[in-house]
Amino acid sequence: MTQVAYRSSDAYRELRRQEYHRNIEQYKQRRKQRYHEAGNKDVFRAQSLKQKYGITLADYNRILLAQGGICKICGSNDPGRDPMFQVDHDHKTGKVRGLLCSKCNTGLAKFRDSAEHLRRAAAYLEEAAT
C-alpha cells in the first residue's frame, strides 16, 4: 500500500514547483512558436498541407481557383473561423475531395462523412418543411 503525500510535505511542494516550472516552459515554447509562425505563415501553411494531405500550396490554390474561390458545398466565399478554406478529404483513402468553409466541414464531420446519413437528414428536413 502506497502512502499519500500530504499537501504540507516538502515532497508535495517540490512536485508542485516542478510542475509549475514545466508549465511555464511549455507556455514560453508555444508563444515562441506562434510568434515564429506569424512571420512565416505561408511556409507553415505549405508544410501543414504537405504533411496532412500530401498537397502543396500551389495545389491548394489550384483547387480553390477551380472551385471559383468558394466553398464546394454551400458556395460561400467566407472560409469561416480560419483564414483559408479547410481541406476536405476521405479519411479512409486520404484523397482530397475539395475545399470547404469551416461550417460545412464541421457538418460533414458531424454526419461521420456518411452520404446515407446526409440523405436521411435531407429527407427529414424536407418532410418537416411540408
Residue 69: pLDDT band (50, 70, 90) is very high
**40-129 has CATH 3.40.920.10 classification:** no
In tens, the pLDDT along 10-66 reads 888 888 888 888 888 888 888 888 777 777 878 888 888 999 999 999 999 999 999
pLDDT over 80 at 76, yes or no: yes
Residue 101 is predicted with a pLDDT of 96
Q: How far apart are CA 57 and CA 46, in angstroms?
A: 5
Mean pLDDT of the chain: 89
pLDDT, position 35: 74
Contact 69, 101 (CB under 8 A): no
The whole-model pTM stands at 0.69
What pLDDT shows up at residue 83?
87
As a whole number of angstroms, the distance between CA 95 and CA 87 comes to 10
The answer to whether residues 49 and 87 touch, using CB atoms and an 8 Å cutoff, is yes
